[in-house]
């Protein structure tokens, strides 16, 4: 997935790519809640109807331990 994202983003003007990186300090319970809520948000937007003015938007998110 990361390779696909880098390949796609590499073909774009970087002004068209929104980026954010942050580190959260979460208990295991809060991390589980965070990931569950992200999943719910993705599911909500994934079911939007495709209409003529729809623009395809790629989203890449990785959640991993911070060293």
At residue 43, the pLDDT reads 94
At residue 44, the pLDDT reads 94
Note the pLDDT tens digit of each residue in 55-64: 888 888 888 8
Note the pLDDT tens digit of each residue in 34-53: 999 999 999 999 988 889 99
In a domain, 65, yes or no: yes
In a domain, 46, yes or no: yes
Task: Say if residues 62 and 3 touch (Cβ distance below 8 Å).
Answer: no
Q: What is the mean predicted confidence (pLDDT) over 14-19? A: 88
In a domain, 31, yes or no: yes
Residue 54's domain comprises: 1-6+23-67
At residue 48, the pLDDT reads 87
In a domain, 18, yes or no: no
Task: Say if residues 58 and 11 touch (Cβ distance below 8 Å).
Answer: no
pTM of the model: 0.73
In a domain, 53, yes or no: yes
The number of domains in the chain is: 1
């Amino acid at each position: 997935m990361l390779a696909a994202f880098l390949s796609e983003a590499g073909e774009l003007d970087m002004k068209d790519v929104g980026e954010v990186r942050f580190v959260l300090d979460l208990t295991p319970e809060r991390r589980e809640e965070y990931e569950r809520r992200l999943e719910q948000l993705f599911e909500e937007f994934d079911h939007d109807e495709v209409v003529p003015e729809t623009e395809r938007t790629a989203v890449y998110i990785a959640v991993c331990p911070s060293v």
